[in-house]
Amino acid sequence: MKSQLGSCLKFLETSKPYFAMISLQFGYAGMNIITKVSLNRGMSHYVLVVYRHAIATAVIAPFAFIFERRAQPRITFPIFLQLFVLGLLGPVIDQNFYYAGLKFTSPTFSCAMSNMLPAMTFVMAVIFRMEKLDLKKVRCQAKLIGTAVTVAGAMLMTLYKGPIIEMVWSKHAHSGKSDTTETTGTNDKDWFKGSILLIIATLAWASLFVLQTKALKTYKNHQLSLTSLVCFIGTIQAIAVTFVMEHKASVWRIGWDMNLLAAAYAGIVTSSISYYVQGLVIKKKGPVFATAFSPLMMIIVAIMGSFILAEQIFLGSIVGSVLIVIGLYSVLWGKHKEKMESVSDEDIPDPVKGVQGNGNSIEDIEANEIDLQKAEANKNNNFSSMAINIPMPMTMQELKASQEPKA
């Protein structure tokens, strides 16, 4: 009984990262569906970005103050510039372009395009020399081929729609709609425009990851503080952008409706809880494990969108999504092999190098051995020169004399 309980607890412990990432994909999928409904009802995506990151700042900042208020990094001008650019790339450019692309396309299509993120991050890392590319190695070939396949899938989804793939549960919902609006030139133009906006959003997201790598060196032990500062600065920037793009005061009006739900859900679930859960999973299982679950969100959104929104799925979207997923896992496989090789290289000592792991050169080690030999020789000499007093046995006369009584 005790062994069964122990095995059950062990299974639950090992399954936590899997349950966490699967639950997180459902959270992301819900955000896409709720946001799509809110945008279709006329909410400005500029205002949605402001409310989303304002709520995220209000949620994350208290935890950062409680757990990370000590030894805060000093905000110099270069660090402030990094935070400013991070806020501009993430909350402003990425989210605004993503929501605009989501408005013109569909949740499934948007999720599929966001799977280009690992490939775009890899390309930017190579450009900025953060990633080495050796075409002689299989892992580098896998990353390069995966990137090309991912881009091909995205281009296919952008330029080709194809016939509609009818789902069994959504055929009745689609039958009541006119197909003329789905195939007009204006709709195709909006679909192409949305694809371009989603590509720009994913590019901004990849740039955010590249720049965040440098910022995390400063905020290594203050990740909640970094997230709070980026969300706060991004909120201020998003307010400025909204004042420029939206000139009506009525766009800021929000009540107890779907608009408030979309802002609160996106701010709490996808900008607060997701950061914490992803951090725990990446810390325990690595970034490859966490990123590998992203295609699951696309499948969940496709099913939920078909049920809730009566979303129509095209053949080009399906074929392009398959190519993007294949390219994604090819890139992740190459990154995994690279990580395994780097770990094995750290474990094996290099006899060719003159400097050892503790910083001592070979000449220093030889000199230390000579000193040890001299110390051993001096020790032996001192030991041999010590006087050893051993009592000698007494003779018979001395023994009798010692036994006679003294007068």
The lowest-confidence range among 108-112, 310-314, 400-404 is 400-404
Nearest to 293 by CA among 4, 88, 21: 21
Within a domain: residue 278?
yes
Residue whose tokens read 């995506």: 45
The pLDDT value given to residue 378: 58
Measured distance CA(365)–CA(77) in Å, rounded: 45
* Per-residue pLDDT at 32 exceeds 80: yes
Within a domain: residue 198?
yes
The pLDDT value given to residue 265: 93
Measured distance CA(323)–CA(316) in Å, rounded: 11
pLDDT band at 85 (very low <50, low <70, confident <90, very high): very high
pLDDT band at 177 (very low <50, low <70, confident <90, very high): very low
Q: How many domains does the chain have?
A: 1
* Per-residue pLDDT at 122 exceeds 90: no
Measured distance CA(328)–CA(336) in Å, rounded: 12
Within a domain: residue 368?
no
Q: How many other C-beta atoms can be found within 10 angstroms of the C-beta atom of residue 122?
A: 23
The lowest-confidence range among 205-209, 288-292, 383-387 is 383-387
Largest CA distance in the chain: 143
H or E element: which one contains 222?
none
pLDDT average, residue stretch 247-262? 87
pLDDT average, residue stretch 231-251? 92
pLDDT band at 244 (very low <50, low <70, confident <90, very high): very high
The pLDDT value given to residue 318: 84
* Per-residue pLDDT at 369 exceeds 50: yes
* Per-residue pLDDT at 245 exceeds 60: yes
Within a domain: residue 218?
yes
* Per-residue pLDDT at 127 exceeds 80: yes
Domain coverage including residue 253: 44-168+188-342
pLDDT: which is higher, 405 or 196: 196
Measured distance CA(364)–CA(233) in Å, rounded: 53
Within a domain: residue 367?
no
Within a domain: residue 296?
yes
**Phi/psi at 164 (5° precision):** -80, 135
pLDDT band at 233 (very low <50, low <70, confident <90, very high): very high
Residue whose tokens read 């133009």: 189
pLDDT average, residue stretch 140-166? 82
Cβ atoms of 138 and 291 closer than 8 Å: no
* Per-residue pLDDT at 232 exceeds 90: yes
pTM: 0.70
pLDDT average, residue stretch 298-316? 77
pLDDT average, residue stretch 252-266? 88
Q: How many other C-beta atoms can be found within 10 angstroms of the C-beta atom of residue 137?
A: 15
Within a domain: residue 50?
yes
| Token digits of residue 264 | 């609160």
Within a domain: residue 241?
yes
Alpha-carbon torsion (308, 309, 315, 317), positive or negative:
negative
The lowest-confidence range among 5-19, 108-122, 340-354 is 340-354
The pLDDT value given to residue 58: 93
Cβ atoms of 320 and 298 closer than 8 Å: no
